[in-house]
Chains A and B, each alone.
Chain A
Amino acid sequence: MSPRLTRRSALAGLAAGAGVFAAPAVLAQAKPRVVIVGGGFAGATCARSLAAMGVAVTLVEADQRYVACPFSNLVIHGTRDIAQQTFGYDALRAAGVDVVFARAERIEPEARRVLLPGADAITYDRLVLAPGIDMRFDALPGYDSAAAERMPHAWKAGAQTLLLRKQLEAMDDGGVVVMAVPANPYRCPPGPYERASLIAHYLKHHKPKSKLIVLDSKDTFSKQKLFMAAWQELYPDHLEWAPLASGGKTVEVDAREMTVVTEFSRHKAAVANVIPPQRAGAIAQASGLADRSGWCPIDPVSFESRLAPNIHVIGDAAIAGAMPKSAFAANAQAKHCALAVATMLRGEQAPSPKLINTCYSLVAPDYGISVAGVYQPAKGLLADVEGAGGTSPGGATSEFRAREAIYADAWFKVITDGVYG
Chain B
Amino acid sequence: MRDCVIAVAATLAITCSFSAAAWSQTAPPAGATACSGCHGGRDSAMPSLQGKSASDIEAAMTAYRTGAREATVMDRIAKGFGDSETRAIAEWLAQNGAAR
Contacts and interface: CB of A to CB of B under 8 A. Distances in A.
A390 B17 CA distance: 41
A68 to B, nearest CB: 14
Interface string B64-92: 00000000110011111100010000000
A332 B100 contact: no
A407 B45 contact: yes
Nearest to A369: B72
Interface in B12-58: 15-23, 27-28, 30-31, 33-41, 44-46
**Most B CB within 10 A of own CB, among A31, A32, A49, A387:** A49
A415 interface: yes
B37 A331 contact: yes
A417 B76 contact: no
A52 B33 CA distance: 13
B38 A370 contact: no
A24 interface: no
A29 to B, nearest CB: 12
Contacts of A387: 79-80
B99 interface: yes
Given A55-B18, A413-B44, A415-B37, A374 B30 contact: no
A255 interface: no
B73 to A, nearest CB: 5
A126 to B, nearest CB: 13
Given A332-B33, A372-B76, A409-B45, A52 B21 contact: yes
Interface string A327-341: 010011001100100
B77 A49 contact: no
B18 A53 contact: yes
A376 interface: yes
Nearest to A392: B72
Contact of A339 (B19, B28, B35, B76): B28
Contacts of B30: 351-354, 376
Contacts of A335: 33-34, 36, 100
B23 A411 contact: no
Interface stretch (A158-166, A174-182, A398-406): A398-406
Contacts of A343: 27
Interface size class of A (residues with CB under 8 A): 35 or more
A18 to B, nearest CB: 24
A388 B79 contact: yes
A100 interface: no
Nearest to B15: A346
Given A372-B77, A374-B81, A411-B46, A346 B17 contact: yes
A356 B34 contact: yes
Contacts of A418: 36-37, 40, 100
A183 B2 CA distance: 53
B49 to A, nearest CB: 11
B99 A52 contact: yes
From A32, A54, A351, residue with most partner B Cβ within 10 Å:
A54
Interface in A343-389: 343, 346, 351-356, 358, 370, 372-374, 376, 385, 387-389
14 contacts: A31-B18, A32-B18, A52-B21, A53-B21, A328-B37, A346-B17, A353-B31, A354-B81, A356-B35, A358-B38, A374-B81, A388-B77, A388-B80, A388-B81
Interface of A: 31-32, 45, 48-49, 52-56, 328, 331-332, 335-336, 339, 342-343, 346, 351-356, 358, 370, 372-374, 376, 385, 387-390, 392, 400, 403-404, 406-407, 409-411, 413-415, 417-419
Interface of B: 15-23, 27-28, 30-31, 33-41, 44-46, 72-73, 76-81, 85, 99-100
Interchain residue pairs A-B with the least CB separation, the first 10: A374-B80, A388-B80, A354-B31, A410-B45, A356-B34, A52-B22, A335-B33, A354-B30, A414-B40, A54-B18
